[in-house]
């Protein structure tokens, strides 16, 4: 059973190699990547089942005497994240294969897209399973490298511009991560999470604080928490729809996961919960205000993505069992919903020829199915009862009210306001893209911005003209529908799922069970 733990990392890596070797045979590549992702989903589900039944599963790779070597740990939290992320990756893969031949060649060329997506999946799994900080770093690098390639697929001017910002910001965060690693190693002599949990409390408070701040800064950049969030809405919207969808679903959540680990295993008696709560509030409010100002759906969704990261940080900042349970549930919910919305936006782009609210119109009449596919996850994101977004938010609000002091109540108010503003943003998309008639007026934004916007958007203009108002490929619609149903399915099973996240939260609070599972002999 322990030997299943590395499979979510190994299988996609092997699959990536195989898919790359088969780059002249797209059909075989598709089979390879689909089979691999299905296998990863199966293995992750098995890990989730076992870890829920019998506790964390630990594998010391290479079977060196502990604590030498690298530990891989699958407890409830990481295996739940694994399941959700692999399911979402599989769906995105199927979605990209559903595009018709011409579009696929242009947007997601199989020979590059499939191997890279598999490497991304391996990196994400590695980050979730990592039992030491350095392995976490390697996981981050794997997924980042894959994301660099995916973000600049095709190398058009717009993507190179967006990719540059993204790569430089990611490099900076990686450098900071390395500095944090060096500092941690110098202070404690280990990078194993469980060992660090035992050794860190012995350090002077000042050094602990420096290490914690370093790590949190790194993970806040990855998770796009304000004020380190500006890179995200800048870089995500230009990528092809399946790529943006998988980025939005997974990459920031890996950062959130790392924050959870830092706050529970490494620094359980954190002094920084106040800071986390303030960061959460700022992320929510500023993110959603940014979303309202946008008139481009992908950019608006990127801003709501930033804003809703705030909810998860809110739960983490509460540092209580109910807070963590809410945060974990919200993460699982948000991965599916955000991915679904970006996939549906891809469909909108195919159908309407654009994702700009100024150019779209009349989609509800033109394509009622698309209307339903957008409406359900949009309401879910805004937290309309009885959908899972509502349940996650109520969980977080209750956890906030439980804490009972001023700051949590402020956060409760902030999250209600954010939820309302999300509804406003989604209603704006709905009213303008779906309900109003299609208008032939020139884009006001382009009028005002003049030649500046024109010159730089030539690229997008030419591509949109080519895709003007095509019918939707059925497989894409079907995959998007499955995503929507998955989101609704989370609502249906939210009782058991919330129970699971509560157990996961009980596990991680205090970090004791994690340490006991990894180092049963209590080596310091």
Partner 1 sequence: MSPNLTLVIISGVLVASGVYLLLERSLTRILVGVLLASNGVNVMFLVASGAAGGAPIIGITPKQEMSDPLPQAMVLTAIVITLGTTAYLLALAYRSFQLNGHDEVADDVEDAAIRLLAEADRASDSYDADTQGQPDEVGRGTADEEGERVATPDPETDDAPEAEGGADAEPPGEAAERAEQHQFTEETR
- Binding-site ranges for partner 1 (CB under 8 A): 134, 138, 141, 145, 148, 152, 154-157, 160-165, 167-168, 171-172, 174-175, 178-179, 181-183, 185-186, 191, 234, 293-296, 299, 357-358, 361-367, 428, 432, 435-440, 443-453, 455-459
Structure-token pair, residue 349: 């782009």
Residue 242, burial from CB neighbour count under 10 angstroms (0-12, 13-18, 19+): buried
Task: Give least dist CB 184 to partner 1, A.
Answer: 9
Cβ-based nearer residue to partner 1, 362 or 475: 362
DSSP class per residue in 95-116: HHHHS-HHHHHHH--HHHHHHH
Task: Give least dist CB 428 to partner 1, A.
Answer: 5
Task: Give least dist CB 221 to partner 1, A.
Answer: 14
Task: Give least dist CB 291 to partner 1, A.
Answer: 11
Task: Give least dist CB 102 to partner 1, A.
Answer: 14
Task: Give least dist CB 16 to partner 1, A.
Answer: 15
Task: Give least dist CB 263 to partner 1, A.
Answer: 24
Cβ-based nearer residue to partner 1, 31 or 369: 369
**CA 426 – CA 487 distance, rounded (Å):** 17
Helix (H) or strand (E) holding 11: helix 7-21
Cβ-based nearer residue to partner 1, 7 or 153: 153
User: What residues does 463 pair with on adjacent strands?
Assistant: none
**CA 147 – CA 166 distance, rounded (Å):** 9
CB atoms within 10 A of CB 453: 13
Task: Give least dist CB 295 to partner 1, A.
Answer: 5
**CA 26 – CA 513 distance, rounded (Å):** 46
| Backbone dihedral region for residue 522 (phi beyond 0: left; psi -120 to 50: alpha; all else: beta) | left
Cβ-based nearer residue to partner 1, 168 or 401: 168
Cβ-based nearer residue to partner 1, 209 or 230: 230
Cβ-based nearer residue to partner 1, 35 or 466: 466
Residue 183, burial from CB neighbour count under 10 angstroms (0-12, 13-18, 19+): middle
Cβ-based nearer residue to partner 1, 100 or 141: 141
CB atoms within 10 A of CB 256: 28
Cβ-based nearer residue to partner 1, 271 or 458: 458
**CA 417 – CA 122 distance, rounded (Å):** 37
DSSP class per residue in 365-376: HH-HHHHHHHHH
């Amino acid at each position: 059973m322990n030997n299943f733990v590395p499979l979510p990392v190994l299988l996609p890596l092997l699959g990536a190699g195989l898919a790359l070797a088969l780059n002249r045979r797209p059909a075989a590549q598709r089979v390879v990547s689909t089979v691999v992702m299905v296998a990863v989903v199966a293995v992750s589900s098995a890990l989730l089942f076992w870890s829920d039944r019998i506790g964390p599963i630990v594998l010391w790779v290479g079977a060196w005497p502990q604590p030498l070597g690298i530990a891989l740990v699958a407890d409830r939290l990481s295996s739940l994240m694994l399941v959700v992320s692999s399911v979402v990756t599989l769906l995105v893969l199927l979605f990209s294969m559903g595009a018709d031949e011409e579009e696929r060649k242009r947007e997601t060329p199989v020979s590059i897209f499939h191997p890279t997506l598999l490497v991304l999946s391996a990196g994400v799994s590695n980050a979730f399973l990592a039992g030491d900080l350095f392995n976490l770093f390697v996981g981050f690098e794997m997924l980042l490298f894959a994301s660099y390639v995916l973000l600049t697929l095709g190398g058009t001017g717009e993507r190179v511009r967006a990719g540059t910002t993204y790569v430089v910001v990611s490099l900076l965060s990686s450098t900071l991560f390395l500095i944090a690693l060096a500092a941690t190693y110098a202070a404690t002599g280990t990078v194993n999470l469980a060992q660090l949990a035992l050794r860190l409390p012995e350090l002077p408070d000042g050094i602990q604080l420096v290490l914690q701040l370093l790590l949190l800064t790194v993970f806040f950049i990855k998770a796009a928490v304000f004020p380190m969030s500006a890179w995200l809405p800048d870089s995500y919207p230009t990528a092809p729809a399946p790529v943006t969808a998988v980025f939005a679903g997974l990459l920031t959540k890996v950062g959130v996961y790392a924050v959870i680990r830092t706050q529970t295993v490494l620094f359980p008696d954190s002094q920084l919960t106040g800071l986390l709560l303030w960061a959460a509030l700022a992320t929510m409010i500023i993110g959603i205000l940014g979303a309202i100002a946008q008139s481009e759906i992908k950019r608006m969704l990127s801003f709501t993505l930033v804003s809703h990261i705030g909810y998860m940080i809110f739960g983490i900042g509460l540092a209580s069992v109910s807070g963590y349970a809410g945060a974990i549930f919200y993460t699982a919910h948000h991965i599916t919903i955000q991915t679904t919305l970006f996939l549906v936006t891809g469909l909108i782009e195919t159908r309407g020829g654009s994702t700009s609210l100024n150019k779209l119109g009349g989609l509800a009449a033109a394509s009622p199915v698309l209307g339903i596919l957008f409406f359900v996850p949009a309401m879910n994101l805004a937290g309309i009862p009885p959908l899972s977004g509502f349940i996650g938010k109520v969980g977080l609000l209750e956890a906030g009210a439980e804490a009972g002091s001023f700051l949590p109540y402020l956060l409760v108010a902030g999250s209600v306001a954010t939820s309302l503003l999300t509804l406003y943003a989604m209603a704006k998309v709905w009213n303008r893209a779906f309900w109003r008639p299609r208008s032939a007026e020139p884009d006001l934004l382009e009028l005002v911005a003049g030649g500046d916007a024109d010159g730089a958007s030539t690229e997008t203009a030419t591509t949109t003209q080519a895709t003007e108002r095509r019918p939707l490929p059925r497989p894409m619609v079907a995959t998007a529908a499955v995503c929507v149903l998955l989101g609704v399915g989370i609502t249906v099973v939210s009782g058991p799922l919330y129970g699971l996240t509560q157990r996961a939260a009980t596990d991680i609070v205090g970090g004791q069970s994690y340490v006991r599972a990894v180092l049963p002999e209590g080596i310091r």
